[in-house]
Structure formats: structure tokens, C-alpha cells
Amino acid sequence: MTQSLQPSSESFDPTEFRKALGTFATGVTIITARAADGTPIGLTANSFNSVSLDPPLVLWSLANNAMSFDAFRNALHWAVHVLGSDQEDLSGRFARRGEDKFSGLDTDEGEGGVPLLRGCAARFQCRTATQYQGGDHLIFIGEVLRFDRDEAAPLVFHGGKYAHATRRDPPDIKPRSAHLAGSFGEDFLGYLLGRSHFRFFAQIRPFLDHEGLDDMEFYVLSTLTLKPLLTEGQIAEGLAGVLDANRQRALDGLVERGFARRTAADGFELTDGGREAAIRLIAAAKAVESQVLERLGTGDAVILKTTLNRLLGVVDESAADVLWQSGEGERKG
């Protein structure tokens, strides 16, 4: 069954060659199979590609030095899992040599007993049709016996790094440009961020009104959920640059209304009533978020959040890391 493809005799700088190949953006897959002794095997591979629609054929290639090489070469069946944008950790796990990659994972059983992973963008269950020796890799061509797919956004690999794919704007959505030369224009970052924030927040405000809170009181209340006890300085740090002039008034307002109280240790904490109101508001805000992100599409939602986090890192180096990172542990303690 195995045929041989002769490599070119020309030699390249291997690093440059890798870099040049890396300019080709691909999806990321995990290929699984079962070794002759029944052990599940699998590895991350981006060499996957479609070959033929009729008959349905796909291909991928496996390094000759992979620990799973013999098992894959002898396997009659294997499955290709196209990973979704939220499966980077799984990709990392299956790219580590020889580990027990399946430990703790829920799997289904596919054709020929092949372990099938869950939560992927698509799965192709295949039977080996042909193998070609291609230099330092073995190329597998498989006949697709079954497949299934989900609407998940794909994980992308480009230039040796994971990436997300985003759709290009449809032609009818063009950035609106200003009439006056020298004016800000509607593709000004501040306009896009500001308007998005105000329009998004307008959908949450009715829930704040219901609790009798204004925007700043909500921000302070949310900040107080991050840790059991916060000093005034920490609250100021957490909300630095957000309606600074209104902070003290908002804090006093929350205390007056019985949502927060001053503690002996010169800090502030939520009362039971404050915590319950915060939980109600966070649930309502999350529901608004889900609706908005659903309309945007999963892939673009992930990209938007990733990019905004990176933007925050650029414009807000002092971002209140201390508050966000250690809160969970302290609450448990």
C-alpha cells in the first residue's frame, strides 16, 4: 500500500523553510486512532487537507519520528477532529510527545473503535486508503466513512502561532467616513469604542434602574464583588479613569442604601443585600452580553474580546491586575 515520493535534492536553510511554510495559514486538527493493544493514540496535526469529494478522501502527514508512528501506520481507521477556536489547550495537550493525552477526557467510540473527541468544529471518521512515504513524513490518505460538524469558529495556525479567523466585512458594511477633512470621522477608535460601550450599556441600564442604581454605583458595586474586602484606595485603583469624580458619591450612596458597609479595617464590603443585588445585575448583564455576542457570531466574539484585552494592555498598563487575579483564591479561603 505504501508508495514513495522522492524529496528534492536541493537543500534549504531549515529555519527559513519552516518560516516560509508557516505563512500558509491552516486550521488545526487532532488525529486519533487505537493502537493494536487498544491504547488510544492521537496527535495535533495541521497537515490535514481535503483531497477528493467523490470518492470522499482526505489526507494528513505524520512525522517518521512520532512516538505514535507505528500505531498509526498499522491502524485501519483514524479520525480527524477539526478544532474550534476555544480548543487551543487541547491542541497543546495532543502536541506533547507520548503523554497520556486522553486522561480525563470524555470520548465517544467511532468506526473501528477509534476514540472521538467532543466539542470540535468537525469530525471525519476515516479508513486508510493509501499511505505514501513523503521524505521524513508518512502521508495518509483516508476514505471518509462518516462526518459531523458544529457551528464552532475554527482555531487557526499561522506563522507558528495560534490565531483566530474573522470574516471580512460584507461589502455593504464599510467604515463610515467623515465629511469634513480633519474631523475625527466614524472610524476613529474613540468613537467606535465609546459608542459601542454606550449602546451596549443602554441595554443593561433598565436593570440598574430597577435596583435604583446609577452607572457609577453599579461600577463600584461590581468592583466590590471582586474581593471580600476592599480599601478605598483599591476601589480607586480598580476604577481608575472611570468617572473618577463620582466615585466617592457612589460609594456613599451604596452605603446609605444598605448595599455596602464600612468595616473596622478602613475598608468596604458588600452587605448580603448588596451581594444579592450584584448577583442579579451580573446575571442580567451576562444575558445582555450573550444576546449581543450571539448576533456577532462566536468567532468574532472571541476575536473582539481578545483584541480588546490586548488594547487594554496597551492603553491601561496599570489595569487593576491585583484586584482581578487574586480575588477568587481569597474568596475560597
Ligand X SMILES: Cc1cc2nc3c(=O)[nH]c(=O)nc-3n(C[C@H](O)[C@H](O)[C@H](O)COP(=O)(O)O)c2cc1C
Q: What is the contact surface with ligand X in residues (CB under 6 A)? A: 28, 43-47, 60-63, 66-68, 95-98, 157
Give the span between the Cα atoms of 25 and 164, in whole angstroms: 10
User: At closest approach, how far in Å is the CB of 291 from ligand X?
Assistant: 34
Q: Which three cell numbers stand for residue 19?
A: 518560516
Q: Which three cell numbers stand for residue 275?
A: 451581594
Give the span between the Cα atoms of 333 and 329, in whole angstroms: 6
Q: Give me the half-sphere count of Cα atoms (radius 13 Å) on the Cβ side of residue 67.
A: 14
User: At closest approach, how far in Å is the CB of 113 from ligand X?
Assistant: 19
Closer Cβ to ligand X, 157 or 268, answer by number: 157
Q: Residue 270: CB partners within 8 Å, gap ≥ 6?
A: 221, 224, 225, 259, 260, 278
Closer Cβ to ligand X, 95 or 282, answer by number: 95
Pairing of strands 115-117, 161-164: unpaired
Give the span between the Cα atoms of 48 and 79, in whole angstroms: 11
User: At closest approach, how far in Å is the CB of 31 from ligand X?
Assistant: 8
Closer Cβ to ligand X, 160 or 170, answer by number: 160
Three-class SS state of 248:
helix
Closer Cβ to ligand X, 95 or 293, answer by number: 95
Closer Cβ to ligand X, 101 or 227, answer by number: 101
CB 289 within 8 Å of CB 197: no
Closer Cβ to ligand X, 97 or 146, answer by number: 97
User: At closest approach, how far in Å is the CB of 302 from ligand X?
Assistant: 18
Closest CA to 40 of 89, 85, 81: 81
User: At closest approach, how far in Å is the CB of 95 from ligand X?
Assistant: 4
Instruction: Residue 29: count other Cβ atoms within 10 Å of its Cβ.
Output: 29
User: At closest approach, how far in Å is the CB of 276 from ligand X?
Assistant: 46
